[in-house]
Structure 1
Amino acid sequence: MRKDPARPSWADVTPKHLFLNRRALIGGALALGVAAPVAAKIAARPSPYSTDAAPNSYEQITGYNNYYEFGWDKGDPAQNAGRLKTDPWSVEIGGLVDRPGSWPLDDVLRTAPAEERIYRFRCVEAWSMVIPWIGFPLAALLERAGVQPGAKYVAFQTLYRPEEMPGQRAPGIDWPYVEGLRLDEAMHPLTLLTYGLYGEALPNQNGAPLRIVVPWKYGFKSIKSIVKISLVAEEPRTTWKELQPREYGFYANVNPAVDHPRWSQATERVIGAGFLTPRRATEPFNGYGDQVAGIYQGMDLRKSY
Structure 2
Amino acid sequence: MIFKDPRIHPSQITPRAIVENRRQWLKTIALGSAAVGMGSWLERDAFAKTAAPREKLPAKFNEQYSTRETQTSYEDATTYNNFYEFGMDKDDPAKFADRLQTRPWTVSIEGMVKKPVTLDIDALLKLAPMEERVYRLRCVEGWSMVIPWNGYALSHLLNRVEPLGSAKYVEFISLADPKQMPGLKRPVLNWPYREGLRMDEAMNPLTLLTFGMYGELLPKQNGAPIRLIVPWKYGFKSSKSLVTIRLTEKQPLTSWSASAPREYGFYSNVNPAVSHPRWSQATERRIDGRGIFAPKIKTEPFNGYGEYVAKLYAGMDLRKFY
Q: TM-score, normalised by structure 2?
A: 0.81
8 Å contact kept, 1:35–1:201? no
Give the distance between the partners of 1:289 and 1:35, measured in 2 at CA: 38
Partner of 1:294: 311
8 Å contact kept, 1:156–1:180? yes
Q: How do residues 119-268 of structure 1 correspond to structure 2 at under 5 angstroms? A: 119-125=133-139, 126-268=142-284
Moved over 3 A (4+): 34-40
Cα 1:43–1:263 change in 2 (3 A) is closer
Give the distance between the partners of 2:144 and 2:308, measured in 1 at CA: 20
8 Å contact kept, 1:37–1:199? no
Out of 80, 85, 92, the position equivalent to 1:76 is 92
Amino acid in structure 2 at the alignment position of 1:86: T
Deviations 1:135-191 (A, max 9, x none): 100000000011110000000100010111000111221000000000000000000
Residue 54 of structure 2 corresponds to residue 50 of structure 1: no
Match of 2:310, SS?
Answer: helix
Q: Structure 2: state its 5+ residue gaps.
A: 1-50
Give the distance between the partners of 1:128 and 1:233, measured in 2 at CA: 33
8 Å contact kept, 1:162–1:169? yes
Give the distance between the partners of 2:122 and 2:289, measured in 1 at CA: 38
Deviations 1:225-253 (A, max 9, x none): 00000010000010000000000000000
Aligned residue pairs total 269
Amino acid in structure 2 at the alignment position of 1:88: P
Amino acid in structure 1 at the alignment position of 2:299: T
Give the distance between the partners of 2:304 and 2:181, measured in 1 at CA: 34
Alpha-carbon offset, residue 300 of structure 1 = 0.2
Give the distance between the partners of 1:35 and 1:215, measured in 2 at CA: 28
Residue 296 of structure 2 corresponds to residue 282 of structure 1: no
8 Å contact kept, 1:91–1:104? yes
Amino acid in structure 2 at the alignment position of 1:123: L
8 Å contact kept, 1:36–1:200? no
Amino acid in structure 2 at the alignment position of 1:167: G
Match of 1:59, SS?
Answer: helix
Give the distance between the partners of 1:249 and 1:293, measured in 2 at CA: 17
Q: Structure 1: state its 5+ residue gaps.
A: 1-33
Give the distance between the partners of 2:91 and 2:231, measured in 1 at CA: 22
Amino acid in structure 1 at the alignment position of 2:188: G
Q: TM-score, normalised by structure 1?
A: 0.86
Identify the range of structure 1 (49-58 vs 104-113) with the bigger mean alpha-carbon deviation.
104-113
Alpha-carbon offset, residue 45 of structure 1 = 2.0
Partner of 2:132: 118
Fraction of identical pairs, as percent: 55
Give the distance between the partners of 1:195 and 1:148, measured in 2 at CA: 27
Partner of 1:66: 82
Higher helix share: 2
Match of 1:286, SS?
Answer: helix
From the CA coordinates, give the structure whose radius of gyration is larger. Answer: 2
Give the distance between the partners of 2:63 and 2:52, measured in 1 at CA: 22
Match of 1:292, SS?
Answer: helix
8 Å contact kept, 2:77–2:145? yes
Out of 54, 68, 93, the position equivalent to 1:37 is 54
Q: How do residues 75-114 of structure 1 correspond to structure 2 at under 5 angstroms? A: 75-113=91-129
Give the distance between the partners of 1:277 and 1:157, measured in 2 at CA: 34
